[in-house]
Every structure is written in structure tokens, then in C-alpha cells.
């Protein structure tokens, strides 16, 4: 399923600098709320299994390593088509449910391989672009990367913003940059990666989130997965509340994608709870919520096997995504 298939595409809005300048985040309140989320909420037994299956359908199965090969990507795409072993799904009476991941995310040079491997599955290919992960190339190069990835068959583009614009407080430059990226994406859906671990403050995270949405982002995403600090619950809370505010102001639903460091099924449940409590059930779908993940899938499959057998298997029995 493609992002926003059932919702209106974000056309953006004029940059509202007065709103951006007025944003203030209460860090201690955010951290208390995030800490309470994992401590006070628990999902067990049948409910937990159902939520974990939901997490799989919201997953951008990703490989962004220096040693990626066509063979690795073909293997990843096979796992994307059937993310859970057939015997586990049969034991859960879910073998006819067509469970698959939301997308497969790769570097530009492997788009064609992924498109071929996913043919007929309905699973789109996402590509990272604009000088991922650092974004330290020229604007012409960034726009060319996007256009070439779309031409190669990518239906979703994960762009990286220039963090220097945020750190300087140059919101006009950030807005213009993301607008240009959006135009180059054409019909492809665009996820804007903030790289929140490099933005220093939650105020910057909130402001950058709003500017990216005003400029036309379909999703806002926490991280590249390549920084020292990636997705965290406090940062995610700030971003989803920015999404809620944008929806209240415009009526447009923007998607959210935490990425980097989410490796355990328990973490996936925490982010699903965050989305349900802050944005509601409508955001619990691949249209509006994605995990950027690879090893997460193996742990979820292991937990599902425990659900049906009552025993934990060795992690090596589950193919790494």
C-alpha cells in the first residue's frame, strides 16, 4: 500500500514564520510523557501478536550498507513478500491474510533490482536520496538524484534535509529546499529525514517538522540510521504532535517514520502505542506510519513463534531481514 492512498496528498502551504518562531517545547514534560508510555502500557497474548503483525505491515524493510549487493536485495525482497514463516501464520490462522511489509528501501543503484524482485507484489520501492546520509552535495546533484530514482521506478523518496539550515535558524532556506525536493519527486511520495540526533534541541526538531510539512512533505522521518543517536520516544512525541497540529490547521494527514535503533518487538509496540494515543487509529496503517527497520523483523518473527509454541527459538533460526 502506498502512503496516503486513502488520504489527501499534502500540497503544502505558505511558510508561516510567526508560527515557527512561536514554537516552544517543554523538554521535561516531553521526557516524562515518553518515559510513562513504556512503563504504564502493556499488550499481552493475542493482542500482542496482533499488534506485532500490524507492525510488520508498517515496516519499510531496509538495507543501506556499503556491502549491499543485488543478491542481498533479492533476498530482502523475498522476505518482504513473506515476512513471517508460513507455519507460524498457519498456527495463528493468518496464512490467508496476505501479510507483507509496506515497502523496501534501498540505495539508488539497487532500485532496478528491487523493482524486478517485487514485481506483482504491490510492495513499492523506496530510495534514499539527496546525498544520503549527510546531504553534503550540491542542490543540482540532490535534485538529479531524486529525478533519476523516480525514473528508475522508486515510488517513495526518502530525502535528507540540510541540517545546517536548522542549526542556523534559516527557515526560508529549509522551506525552499524541501519544496524543490517535492517538485522533483513528482508523483512519488516524499519522506523528509530530519536527522534529529544532529538538531541539538527539541525546539529545532519541532520547528523543522513544521517547515517540512509546510513545504509539502508527505512523511516526516526521524533519522537516517547512520547517526550516533537515532529514533527516540521523546523526539518522536515532538514530531507526532507537530503532525497533529498540522492536521488541525490544514485537514491534511502527514505520515510519521521512526528509523534507526528500533530492533526489538517491545520497541515496536511502544511506537504503535505512541501513534494510537497521540494521533488515533487512523495513523496505525502503512498509509501514515512506517518503521525504518531491518533486524526488527527477525525479533518480531521470533516473538510470534513464541506466541504459537510457548518456546523461544534461537535468533539464528530466523533469517535476518
Nearest residue to 99 via CA among 71, 143, 61, 57:
57
Instruction: Specify which residues 125 forms β-bridges with.
Output: 104
Q: What one-character-per-residue DSSP string does 61-97 give?
A: EE---TT--HHHHHHHHHHHHS-S-HHHHHHTT-TTS
* β-sheet with 125-128: strand ranges across: 255-257, 219-221, 189-193, 156-160, 125-128, 103-106, 59-62, 291-293
139: which 3 cell numbers? 542542490
H or E element in which residue 286 lies = none
Q: Give 172's Cβ-side CA count (13 Å radius).
A: 0
* Alpha carbon of residue 180 to chain centroid: 21
Q: Which residues 6+ apart lie within 8 Å of 70 measured at CB?
A: 110, 113
Helix, strand, coil shares of the chain as percentages rounded to 5?
Answer: 50, 10, 40
Nearest residue to 59 via CA among 109, 105, 5:
105
SS3 32: helix
* Alpha carbon of residue 86 to chain centroid: 26
Residues annotated as part of the active site: 158, 221, 257
- Determine contact, residues 209/23, Cβ cutoff 8 Å: no
* Alpha carbon of residue 82 to chain centroid: 20
Amino acid at each position: 500500500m502506498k502512503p496516503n492512498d486513502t488520504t489527501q496528498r499534502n500540497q503544502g502551504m505558505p511558510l508561516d514564520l510567526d508560527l515557527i518562531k512561536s514554537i516552544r517545547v517543554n523538554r521535561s514534560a516531553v521526557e516524562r510523557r515518553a518515559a510513562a508510555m513504556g512503563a504504564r502500557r502493556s499488550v499481552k497474548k493475542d493482542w500482542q501478536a496482533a499488534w506485532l503483525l500490524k507492525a510488520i505491515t508498517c515496516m519499510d524493510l531496509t538495507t543501506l550498507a556499503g556491502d549491499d549487493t543485488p543478491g542481498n536485495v533479492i533476498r530482502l525482497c523475498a522476505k518482504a513478500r513473506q515476512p513471517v514463516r508460513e507455519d507460524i501464520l498457519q498456527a495463528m490462522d493468518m496464512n490467508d491474510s496476505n501479510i507483507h511489509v509496506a515497502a523496501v528501501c534501498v540505495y539508488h543503484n539497487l532500485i532496478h533490482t528491487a523493482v524486478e524482485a517485487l514485481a506483482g507484489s504491490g510492495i513499492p520501492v523506496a530510495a534514499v536520496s539527496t546525498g544520503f546520509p549527510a546531504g553534503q552535495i550540491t542542490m543540482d546533484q540532490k535534485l538529479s538524484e531524486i529525478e533519476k530514482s523516480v525514473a528508475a521506478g522508486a515510488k517513495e523518496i526518502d530525502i535528507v534535509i540540510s541540517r545546517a539550515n536548522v542549526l542556523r535558524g534559516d527557515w526560508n532556506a529549509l522551506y525552499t529546499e524541501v519544496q524543490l525536493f517535492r517538485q522533483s519527486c513528482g508523483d512519488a511520495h516524499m519522506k523528509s529525514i530530519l536527522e534529529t540526533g544532529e538538531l541539538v534541541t527539541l525546539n529545532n526538531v519541532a520547528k523543522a517538522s513544521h517547515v517540512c510539512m509546510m513545504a509539502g512533505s508527505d512523511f516526516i522521518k526521524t533519522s537516517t540510521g547512520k547517526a550516533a543517536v537515532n529514533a527516540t520516544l521523546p523526539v518522536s512525541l515532538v514530531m507526532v504532535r507537530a503532525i497533529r497540529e498540522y492536521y488541525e490547521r490544514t485537514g491534511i494527514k502527514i505520515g510519521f517514520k521512526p528509523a534507526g535503533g528500533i530492533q526489538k518487538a517491545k520497541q515496536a509496540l511502544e511506537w504503535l502505542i505512541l501513534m494510537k494515543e497521540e494521533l488515533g487509529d487512523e495513523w496505525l496503517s502503512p498509509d501514515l506510519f512506517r518503521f525504518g527497520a531491518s533486524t526488527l523483523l527477525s525479533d518480531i518473527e521470533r516473538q510470534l513463534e513464541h506466541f504459537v509454541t510457548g518456546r523461544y527459538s534461537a535468533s539464528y533460526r530466523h533469517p535476518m531481514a
